[in-house]
Amino acid sequence: MSPEELDIVFKQAVESINQHKEPFPADFLLRLYAYYKRATGDHDSPGSNKPLINAFKTNALFQTRGLTPNEAKQLYVDAVNHYFLYRK
């Protein structure tokens, strides 16, 4: 898949997550959070008012530290597709 095609598929995956009305499992959201931050090059620190949430987000980011933006986009798309296919 070309980088341009990956960008389109990534944006569609993000949109499908944003439009979904049912709650997601917390571990799934943490993975998506980390993949999204890596994919978009967002280097801001987690901004929750709750230290425990910041710790979980920081850990998720740490686990994705070696990913390129395109790898993170592909993993995000794969995770979204897997979730909607299997609901887990």
Task: Mention every residue, 6+ apart, whose C-beta is less than 8 A from residue 53.
Answer: 46
Nearest-angstrom CA–CA distance, 50 and 25: 18
Each domain of the chain, given as residue ranges in start order, spans: 25-86
pLDDT for 88 equals: 63
Check: pTM over 0.75? Answer yes or no: yes
pLDDT at 51: 92
The candidate with the shortest Cα–Cα distance to 7, out of 66, 65, 76, is 76
| pLDDT (0 to 100) of residue 48 | 84
From first to last of its 88 residues, the chain has per-residue pLDDT tens of 899 999 999 999 999 999 999 999 999 999 999 999 999 999 888 888 899 999 999 999 999 999 999 999 999 999 999 999 998 6
